[in-house]
């Protein structure tokens, strides 16, 4: 019943944030929600592998991703307070109500144990994110929100077709209500053709959330205009929702004869994601879009890791966790960068180290972390993926990935170095730099410190949680 209590409290807090037209009250409500989410996450650790309210299970992968969300809650709320400080009361309240709703729906999606409930929560996240992307009420934010809702809805409809095909396999009234674990008991009798079609629909549909090729464009445009703390969530915890939906179906089908087919499809989607991200990052002119393409690159690597199998499964989950911390810290930093430089256009950015040294250090450290350069923890994940590819003799995928990653490293490092140390290309467009307190970067350094720490030491509880999540997948 704890999950019901969590949902009821969260919904009430979200509604209260809109109804009470007072900033102080909204701040207290948002902080109260953060506390509730953290407490609920602690509770979920004590109820591992137990089911609550029939449709939710505290399984290891779900709880792990819920923990990532809980860790990012306070920094997101903190940076959200700063970002919205200049807004009208109405916008301020709607932003925080939307944020509470989004985090609640994501928590529900992580713990859902049936495909239909998971799908409903994913659909609900689209609604909440739409409110947040549209926050600035500009023509561009309207366009981005429109594209996000339209493409996500198309993706969700396709994912629903995947669920229908799952239902056709079983053909019973309670099929949509069956938990993943119950489905796994009957899946061996299913027609491989239906499983393949179902997987394709689910992959394409939920890739709108995961930000994976072919539906990656939806998140790229959203990042251009979304408030930086919202971009941090879209690029991390929301992508994790999409990953989890695909991962759960992958795990469900892994014991059947369609495993090699799924691996090939994931490899292809991963490689194409890397190709697209490398190509667009080389010509990127907008800093947040470049970071969005970096997320596409990382999700491509996750898909390749799953497709590689073996050690790749562990690497995929580790990469998902560390990417969440590294990318969110970079997106939080974007909020400060825009207040100092007043732009995200790369040509107009420069001298950041001189203007805001703490922020420039976050950018540089974040760049090292996200590009998987040692001592970044992502280096360990990528090394494991490459070892998996070598072990399987998938040389083409390995060589193509390494070449494309080299382009990504070149594109991102040259641009970050330009922002940090060079003068802006067009001095005439440079505005008077703003002043930002260096204390605002503390949470970003802490998140990056976790990523670096994981390079040297992975705590046993993390290893155990990841291993539990991949235990039933045949190696």
Residue 49: left if φ>0, alpha if ψ -120 to 50, beta else—which one?
left
**Contact flag: residue 187 with other proteins (CB under 8 A):** no
- Residue from 21, 90, 172, 429 in contact with other proteins (CB under 8 A): 172
- Using CB under 8 A, which of the segments 43-51, 93-101, 140-148, 425-433 binds other proteins? 140-148
**Shortest Å distance, C-beta 164 to other proteins:** 5
Rounded-to-integer distance, Cα 148 and Cα 127, Å: 10
**Shortest Å distance, C-beta 287 to other proteins:** 13
**Shortest Å distance, C-beta 154 to other proteins:** 6
Structural tokens at position 307: 């497709």
Return the CA Rg of the chain: 21
Rounded-to-integer distance, Cα 269 and Cα 215, Å: 10
- Using CB under 8 A, which of the segments 8-16, 70-78, 156-164, 435-443 binds other proteins? 156-164
263 to each of 113, 149, 166, 311, 320, how far by Cα in Å? 23, 29, 19, 14, 18
Instruction: Draw the binding track, 279-308, toward other proteins (x: CB under 8 A; -: no contact).
Output: -x--xxxx--x-------------------
- Residue from 2, 31, 127, 462 in contact with other proteins (CB under 8 A): 127
**Contact flag: residue 45 with other proteins (CB under 8 A):** no
Cβ atoms 411, 284 nearer than 8 A = yes
- Residue from 139, 393, 428, 432 in contact with other proteins (CB under 8 A): 139
**Contact flag: residue 90 with other proteins (CB under 8 A):** no
Structural tokens at position 300: 């491509």
Q: By C-beta, is 167 or 424 nearer to other proteins?
A: 167
Q: Which helix (H) or strand (E) holds 176?
A: none
- Using CB under 8 A, which of the segments 228-236, 277-285, 315-323, 361-369 binds other proteins? 277-285
**Contact flag: residue 197 with other proteins (CB under 8 A):** yes
Rounded-to-integer distance, Cα 328 and Cα 416, Å: 16
- Start-to-end CA span in the chain (Å): 36
- Using CB under 8 A, which of the segments 276-284, 323-331, 444-452, 456-464 binds other proteins? 276-284
**Contact flag: residue 445 with other proteins (CB under 8 A):** no
Phi, psi of 224 (to 5 degrees): -60, -35
**Residue ranges in 219-248 that form contacts with other proteins under rule CB under 8 A:** 221, 224-225
**Contact flag: residue 175 with other proteins (CB under 8 A):** yes
Q: By C-beta, is 222 or 317 nearer to other proteins?
A: 222
Instruction: Draw the binding track, 203-222, toward other proteins (x: CB under 8 A; -: no contact).
Output: ------------------x-
Residues 6+ apart with CB under 8 A from 46: none
**Contact flag: residue 156 with other proteins (CB under 8 A):** yes
Structural tokens at position 426: 């067009």
**Shortest Å distance, C-beta 243 to other proteins:** 22
**Contact flag: residue 200 with other proteins (CB under 8 A):** no
**Contact flag: residue 249 with other proteins (CB under 8 A):** no
Tell me the sheet residues that pair with 286. 345
**Shortest Å distance, C-beta 63 to other proteins:** 26
Phi, psi of 38 (to 5 degrees): -65, -45
CB burial of residue 397 (10 Å; 0-12, 13-18, 19+)? buried
Q: By C-beta, is 219 or 394 nearer to other proteins?
A: 219
Query: How many residues sit in the footprint of other proteins (CB under 8 A)?
Result: 46
Contacts within 8 Å (CB) and 24+ apart, 391-400: 391/310, 391/311, 392/308, 392/309, 392/310, 394/267, 394/308, 397/267, 397/271, 397/304, 397/307, 397/308, 400/271, 400/274
Q: Does residue 214 have a cis bond before it (omega within 30 degrees)? A: yes
**Shortest Å distance, C-beta 281 to other proteins:** 10
Cβ atoms 53, 15 nearer than 8 A = no
Rounded-to-integer distance, Cα 331 and Cα 287, Å: 10
Binding positions for other proteins, rule: CB under 8 A: 116, 119-120, 123, 127, 130, 139-140, 142-147, 149-150, 153-154, 156-158, 160-161, 163-164, 167-168, 171-173, 175-177, 191, 193-194, 197, 221, 224-225, 280, 283-286, 289
């Amino acid at each position: 019943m704890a999950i019901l209590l969590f949902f009821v409290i969260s919904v009430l807090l979200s509604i209260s944030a809109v109804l009470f037209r007072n900033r102080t009250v909204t701040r207290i409500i948002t902080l109260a929600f953060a506390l509730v989410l953290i407490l609920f996450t602690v509770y979920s650790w004590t109820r591992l592998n137990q089911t609550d309210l029939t449709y939710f299970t505290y399984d290891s992968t779900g709880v792990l991703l819920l923990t990532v969300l809980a860790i990012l809650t306070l920094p997101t709320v903190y940076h959200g307070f700063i970002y919205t400080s200049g807004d009208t009361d109405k916008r301020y309240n709607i932003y925080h109500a939307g944020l509470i709703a989004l985090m609640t729906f994501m928590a529900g999606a992580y713990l859902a144990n049936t495909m239909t409930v998971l799908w409903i929560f994913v659909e609900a996240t689209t609604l909440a994110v739409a409110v947040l992307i549209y926050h600035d009420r500009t023509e561009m934010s309207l366009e981005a929100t429109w594209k996000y809702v339209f493409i996500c809805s198309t993706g969700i409809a396709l994912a629903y077709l995947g669920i229908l095909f799952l239902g056709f396999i079983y053909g019973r009234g309670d099929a949509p209500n069956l938990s993943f674990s119950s489905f796994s008991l009957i899946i061996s009798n299913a027609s491989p053709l239906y499983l393949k079609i179902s997987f394709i629909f689910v992959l394409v549909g939920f890739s709108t959330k995961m930000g994976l090729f072919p539906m990656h464009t939806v998140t790229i445009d959203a990042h251009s205009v979304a408030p930086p703390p919202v971009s941090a969530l879209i690029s991390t915890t929301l992508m994790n929702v999409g990953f989890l939906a695909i991962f759960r179906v992958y795990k469900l089908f892994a014991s059947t004869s369609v495993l090699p087919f799924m691996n090939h499809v994931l490899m292809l989607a991963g490689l194409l994601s890397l190709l697209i991200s490398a190509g667009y990052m080389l010509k990127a002119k907008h800093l947040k879009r470049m970071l969005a393409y970096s997320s596409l690159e990382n999700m491509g690597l996750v898909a390749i890791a799953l497709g590689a199998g073996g050690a790749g499964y562990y690497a995929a989950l580790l990469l998902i966790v560390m990417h969440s911390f590294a990318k969110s810290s970079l997106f939080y930093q974007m909020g400060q960068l825009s207040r100092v430089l007043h732009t995200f256009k790369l040509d107009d950015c420069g001298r950041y180290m001189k203007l805001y040294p703490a922020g420039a250090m976050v950018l540089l450290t974040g760049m090292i972390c996200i590009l998987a350069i040692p001592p970044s923890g992502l280096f360990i994940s990528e090394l494991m993926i490459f070892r998996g590819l070598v072990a399987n003799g998938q040389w083409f995928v390995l060589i193509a990935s390494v070449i494309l990653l080299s382009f990504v490293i070149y594109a991102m490092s040259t641009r970050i170095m330009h922002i940090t140390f060079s003068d802006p290309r067009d001095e005439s467009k440079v505005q008077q730099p703003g002043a930002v307190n260096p204390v605002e970067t503390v949470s970003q350094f802490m998140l990056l410190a976790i990523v670096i720490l994981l390079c040297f030491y992975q705590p046993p509880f993390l290893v155990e949680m990841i291993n539990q999540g991949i235990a039933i997948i045949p190696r």
